[in-house]
């Protein structure tokens, strides 16, 4: 099977699995349901046109679809908007786009007369981005697009150029982002004149078109010129490569629209430099005063605490756009209730909702957002809930997006939802959990591609009773020539000191069902897909991972692709987590302690059941420790205790040097009298093979003594295996081995069981 056919087969499998998952979740859980239009009740106010609806205490009811070529509706405080089974359609109209923006149809529609170095290339051969093709430019090359008709005057458009950027380890990058690719974006009118836009933003006036000699953030993205205040007409892009560049997905799109807006204040921060620095932008086109955030006169800003309810209908973005939202709120003290709302959004950085705090129930969010302008930071998920107050998301469905949900409110809850992330950029998980003391439970998480849940520098979050199906990710723009991992759950704080404010600790992951399917992608050859059930890179304090049921199915265990249930690399200067009472079925090692990204310290792995499954290699070991190509991947003070192995024997594959760890097993000694009855109150002593006394105790009412015994004690200074042991009880002495959980019976006339 060719690599292209293999990728198509993987896509088909994931889509089929998604359909099955959607059917299952719709049977088991409540989701959005269409409603029949109803007549208005006394006192309700009909909504028939776009505009502002803000009389406190009133219920506004749609009596027809509301359609706008820009943003559609704006709400005041303490109102209810009943969509009544109708649609709110924003960015509607005859918006034009380039017919071949991503070079999938070759060079049709492009003027390359001033680009002698331009080459049409396969993304898999040179650098993954969006689609199968891109254009390679040499320094100094200039290209022009066909004309695009911009039908609506004096509104925001984005003239954007997708750019892969360099891989961090590229020879030209030299590990320094100052060596990133650079390009300039110009816009020309139908007479061929360069369009210049000097735009007033919140932080002052800037030249927003053209934008000159800009680079993407690490991981690639889009560089754009912000057009506004222009007459309707035909416009085209001119792109100049200021270094060698790889460009893709070039277009002019309507931007900065909302289906429904709640304005506390506007944030007129729409320049490329603003999004490069992850600034929050909102309601640019509805700003009267950029510095103060005062909206235009027909919109009354929302002040103070309140509740806004939106229910029973569809919010839909018609034209493919950019930097737009189905629903957006900047009213910091207003809680948004979304009940039975279906939001459809598509375009670059186009998402379903951007809210401060919310209760979301029985909703559906379909987001087709192929890539991000800037993947850094925690925004432009399908749904962003960015306030620090409690929110709840339940019985809802998330399809697509660069990440599905991010929430930041403490004591929030996310439960009984379905998530199908379609993640092309790094660290945009299905759920980004950023609210301390929150709970995530009873969700089904089945990414089309990408990962499940991440806790980053947060505390006391419980993740439980969730169902994950994770597959190895295809190569990505940022990591298409090196390692890249897809994970069910990640806990990270990047080397935080114990107890530090930025530490991730006190979190619990329990009673989840996780299935990982590891797939090898042969091309690009340097790409190494990694697949982990739990990616643990925290050191600021202990977290407990227990009682989970995990299955790892590696489809090609002898390939370069790597997988494990627990990948533990939190660093050697803190605490390394507790992993206990989990059940793992796997044809590759269940634990990789001090894996290839770094070491760990004070990790405890205890009382897990590891079942070797079909397809394991001949040198299979249930635990892997260290990485032979990494000097810093060292396990320190690790405790490995009473882990049962089925279909094989216990063993550790140790790579590298400098590790320190103990292997411990439970031991029960039963002392009986001549009649086989428990011998109570008898002294029991246990020595290791160095004649060190390791246990001295008296039998209990069952004639038993129980203890956990250190069998192996390994460090750079010593390599101790304490076998064989010697026990003395009731005048009898016996010698025996401990290579697993052990019970020993001592009685007259019997040596051992």
CA–CA dist 445, 452 (Å, integer): 6
CA–CA dist 573, 312 (Å, integer): 52
- Alpha-carbon distance values, 752 to 667, 732, 748, 749 (Å): 13, 11, 10, 10
Write the burial class of residue 676 (CB in 10 Å: 0-12 exposed, 13-18 middle, 19+ buried): exposed
DSSP 121: E
Region label for 121, one of left (φ > 0), alpha (ψ between -120 and 50) or beta (otherwise): beta
Q: Give the model's pLDDT for residue 724.
A: 98
Look-up: residue for tokens 């289906």? 259
3-state secondary structure of 3: helix
Nearest CA to 382 out of 346, 412, 408 is that of 346
CA–CA dist 500, 538 (Å, integer): 12
Nearest CA to 427 out of 375, 373, 352 is that of 375
Q: Give the model's pLDDT for residue 531.
A: 98
Q: Give the model's pLDDT for residue 174.
A: 87
Joined together, the tokens standing for residue 24 give 């299952």
- Alpha-carbon distance values, 723 to 331, 357, 369, 643 (Å): 68, 60, 60, 18
CB 534 within 8 A of CB 498: no
- Alpha-carbon distance values, 491 to 340, 545, 590, 637 (Å): 32, 10, 18, 20
Helix (H) or strand (E) holding 11: helix 3-28
CA–CA dist 153, 337 (Å, integer): 34
CA–CA dist 271, 282 (Å, integer): 12
The CATH superfamily of 111-254 is Galactose-binding domain-like (2.60.120.260)
CA–CA dist 399, 314 (Å, integer): 15
CA–CA dist 32, 22 (Å, integer): 13
Q: Give the model's pLDDT for residue 748.
A: 72
- Alpha-carbon distance values, 441 to 413, 414, 466, 529 (Å): 8, 6, 5, 28
Per-position DSSP letters for 407-431, written without gaps between them: E--TT-EEES-EEE-B--STT--SE
CB 99 within 8 A of CB 75: no
Q: Give me the count of residues in the chain.
A: 753
CB 667 within 8 A of CB 693: no
3-state secondary structure of 728: strand
CA–CA dist 500, 504 (Å, integer): 9
User: Does a cis peptide bond (omega within 30 degrees of 0) precede residue 210?
Assistant: yes
Look-up: residue for tokens 């227990």? 546
Q: Give the model's pLDDT for residue 511.
A: 98
- Alpha-carbon distance values, 427 to 433, 454, 502 (Å): 12, 8, 18
First to last CA, the chain: 56
Joined together, the tokens standing for residue 647 give 């279909």
* φ and ψ at residue 178, rounded to 5 degrees: -65, -20
Contacts of 376 (CB under 8 A, 6+ apart): 217, 218, 219, 278
Beta strands in 274-404, from DSSP E residues, in sequence order: 287-289, 294-295, 306-317, 321-329, 334-355, 357-361, 364-368, 383-385, 392-394, 397-400
| pLDDT tens-digit map of 388-423 | 999 999 999 999 999 999 999 999 999 999 999 999
CA–CA dist 419, 673 (Å, integer): 62
3-state secondary structure of 25: helix
CB 646 within 8 A of CB 610: yes
Joined together, the tokens standing for residue 624 give 């892997």
Out of 2.60.40.10, 3.40.50.720, 1.10.10.10, 3.10.580.10, the CATH code matching 666-746 is 2.60.40.10
3-state secondary structure of 12: helix
Helix (H) or strand (E) holding 88: strand 87-90
Q: Give the model's pLDDT for residue 175.
A: 86
3-state secondary structure of 124: helix
Residues of the chain under the 70 pLDDT cut: 1-30, 749-753
Contacts of 352 (CB under 8 A, 6+ apart): 325, 326, 327, 343, 345, 365, 366, 367, 382, 383, 401
Joined together, the tokens standing for residue 719 give 């390599």
Nearest CA to 594 out of 613, 607, 577 is that of 577
3-state secondary structure of 18: helix
């Amino acid at each position: 099977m060719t690599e292209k056919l293999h990728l198509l087969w993987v896509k088909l499998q994931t889509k089929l699995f998604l359909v099955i998952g959607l059917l299952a979740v719709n049977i088991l859980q409540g989701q959005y349901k269409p409603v029949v239009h109803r007549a208005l009740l006394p006192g309700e106010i009909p909504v028939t046109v776009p505009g502002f609806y803000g009389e406190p205490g009133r219920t506004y009811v749609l009596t027809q679809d509301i359609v706008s070529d820009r943003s559609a509706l704006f709400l005041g405080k303490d109102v209810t908007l009943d969509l009544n089974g109708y649609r709110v359609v924003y960015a509607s109209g005859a918006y034009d786009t380039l017919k071949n923006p991503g070079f999938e149809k070759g060079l049709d529609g492009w003027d390359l007369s001033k680009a002698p170095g331009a080459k049409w290339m396969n993304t898999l051969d040179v650098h993954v981005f969006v689609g199968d093709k891109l254009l390679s430019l040499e320094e100094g090359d200039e290209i022009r697009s066909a004309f695009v008709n911009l039908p609506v005057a004096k509104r925001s458009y984005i003239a954007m150029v997708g750019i892969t950027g360099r891989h961090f380890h590229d020879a030209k990058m030299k590990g320094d982002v100052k060596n990133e690719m650079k390009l300039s974006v110009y816009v020309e009118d139908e007479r061929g004149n360069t369009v210049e836009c000097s735009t007033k933003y919140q932080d002052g006036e800037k030249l927003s078109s053209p934008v000159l000699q800009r680079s993407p953030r690490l991981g690639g993205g889009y560089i754009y010129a912000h057009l506004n205040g222009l007459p309707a007409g035909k416009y085209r892009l001119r792109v100049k490569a200021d270094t060698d560049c790889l460009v893709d997905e070039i277009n002019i799109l309507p931007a900065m629209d909302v289906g429904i807006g709640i304005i506390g204040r506007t944030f007129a921060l729409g320049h490329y430099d603003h999004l490069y620095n992850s600034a929050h932008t909102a309601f640019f086109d509805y700003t009267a005063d950029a510095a103060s955030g005062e909206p235009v006169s027909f919109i009354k800003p929302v002040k103070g605490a309140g509740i806004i309810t939106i229910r029973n209908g569809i919010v839909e973005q018609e034209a493919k756009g950019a930097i737009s939202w189905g629903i957006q709120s900047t009213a910091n003290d207003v809680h948004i209730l979304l009940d039975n709302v279906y939001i459809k959004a598509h375009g670059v950085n186009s998402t379903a909702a951007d809210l401060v705090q919310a209760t979301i129930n029985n909703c559906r969010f379909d987001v087709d957002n192929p890539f991000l302008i800037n993947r850094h930071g925690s925004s432009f998920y399908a749904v962003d809930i960015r306030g620090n107050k409690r929110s709840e998301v339940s019985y809802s469905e998330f399809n697509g997006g660069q990440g599905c949900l991010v929430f930041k409110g403490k004591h929030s809850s996310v439960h009984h939802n379905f998530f199908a992330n379609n993640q092309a950029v790094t660290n945009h998980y299905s759920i980004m959990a950023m609210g301390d003391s929150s709970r995530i439970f009873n969700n089904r998480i089945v990414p089309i591609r990408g990962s499940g849940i991440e806790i980053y520098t947060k505390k006391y979050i419980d993740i439980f009773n969730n169902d994950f199906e994770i597959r190895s990710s295809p190569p990505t723009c940022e990591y298409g020539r090196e390692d890249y991992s897809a994970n069910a759950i990640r806990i990270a704080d990047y080397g935080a000191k114990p107890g530090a404010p930025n530490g991730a600790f006190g979190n619990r992951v329990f009673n989840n069902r996780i299935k990982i399917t590891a797939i090898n992608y042969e091309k690009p050859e340097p790409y190494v897909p990694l697949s982990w059930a739990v990616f643990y890179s925290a050191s600021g304090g202990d977290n407990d991972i227990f009682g989970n049921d995990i299955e790892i199915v590696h489809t090609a265990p002898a390939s370069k692709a790597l997988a494990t249930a627990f990948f533990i690399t939190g660093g050697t200067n803190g605490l390394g987590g507790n992993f206990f009472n989990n059940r793992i079925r796997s044809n590759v090692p269940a634990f990789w302690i001090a894996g290839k990204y770094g070491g760990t310290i004070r990790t405890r792995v205890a009382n897990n059941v590891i079942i070797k499954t079909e397809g394991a290699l001949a040198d299979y070991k249930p635990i892997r420790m260290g990485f032979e190509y990494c000097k810093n991947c060292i396990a320190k003070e690790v405790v490995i205790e009473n882990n049962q192995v089925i279909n094989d024997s216990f063993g550790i594959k140790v790579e590298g040097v400098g590790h320190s760890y103990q292997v411990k097993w439970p031991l029960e000694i039963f002392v009986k009298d001549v009649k086989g009855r428990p011998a109570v109150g008898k002294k029991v002593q246990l020595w290791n093979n160095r004649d060190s006394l390791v246990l001295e105790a008296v039998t209990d009412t069952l004639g038993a003594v129980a203890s956990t015994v250190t069998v192996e004690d390994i460090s750079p200074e010593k390599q101790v295996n304490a076998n064989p042991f010697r026990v003395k009880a009731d005048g009898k002495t016996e010698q025996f081995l401990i290579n697993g959980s052990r019970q020993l019976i001592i009685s007259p006339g019997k040596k051992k069981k």
